[in-house]
Structures are given as structure tokens and as C-alpha cells.
Amino acid sequence: MIVVDVEDPDQPEVRRMLAAGEANSAALYPAESNHHLPLDALRVDGVFFHVARDAGGRAVGTGAIVLKGGWAEVKRMWTDPTARGRGVAAQVLLALEAAARTRGVEVLRLETGVRSDAALALYRRAGFVEIDAFEGYAPDPLSVFMEKRVG
């Protein structure tokens, strides 16, 4: 059983997960193609950071939405490698979509990397489609930009 809820990202086990996601990205892409929000930016108004916890209460996944008016950006999606294949990321994404709809968001957008096969598959299964670079991003051959109507 996985429970996903809004939590403060400034928790030791969550910080470790965020660092693991950053290390994974750094191994796949150059620094200029990584667009992680730092911890402080995940704790401001208009950002809703979610943590997925297993039946034992262990943090196994993360994700956030950043409100941008009529749309929101999905950030910091990560699943602990020991919990992969159990639908954690899909449950986090569903929670983010619900949180966005509750706040009047019409569209979710995201940026991920061309080598992030599992993430791309997840987003496509969830109904996200590829778009051009959006606000805050320049075109990058290592990035894939996507969106989904949720409102």
C-alpha cells in the first residue's frame, strides 16, 4: 500500500531521495540540461511537494507541482530504486494531477530528459504529449517537454 500526501521536503530521508535524483540526472546529462528545483524553492507558496510512503512509513517517491497561473509544472519526480515497478510514480503523478485540479489548474507541463526512458513511458501512459519548450526553458536536444490537460 502506498500513501501520497503533501509534506515538507526538508526531512532527512526525503533530502536523500532528492540527492539521489540529482545524482542520477548528473550521470545522464550535463549540468546545463538539469533543471532541479533546490530544496528552498520546494518550500515556498505555490509549490506543493508530495511524498509517497509505503506501508511501513518509508518515503519511496516524490513529486511536486509549481503553480504558474492557469498551468502548473511537475517537478522533482523520483522513485526510490528499491520501490520501482510497484506503481509508485504513477500514484504520485495521480496525486499531483488531483492537487492541480483542486487549485484550478488547466494544464500540467514538465521537462524530462531524452534518456529517461521510464519517466517518458510513465508520462506518455498518463496522457502527456510532447510540446515545444515552455516558459523558463530554452530548446535543448537533451530535453523533452510535455503537457497534459487536467482541468
Mean pLDDT by 10 residues, the chain (151 residues): 97 97 95 95 97 97 96 97 95 97 97 96 98 95 97 81
Element (H, E) at 104: none
* Residue 48 confidence (pLDDT): 98
- State the pTM of this model: 0.95
Write out the E strands in the chain.
Answer: 3-6, 47-53, 59-67, 71-79, 107-113, 129-131, 143-149
DSSP at 38: P
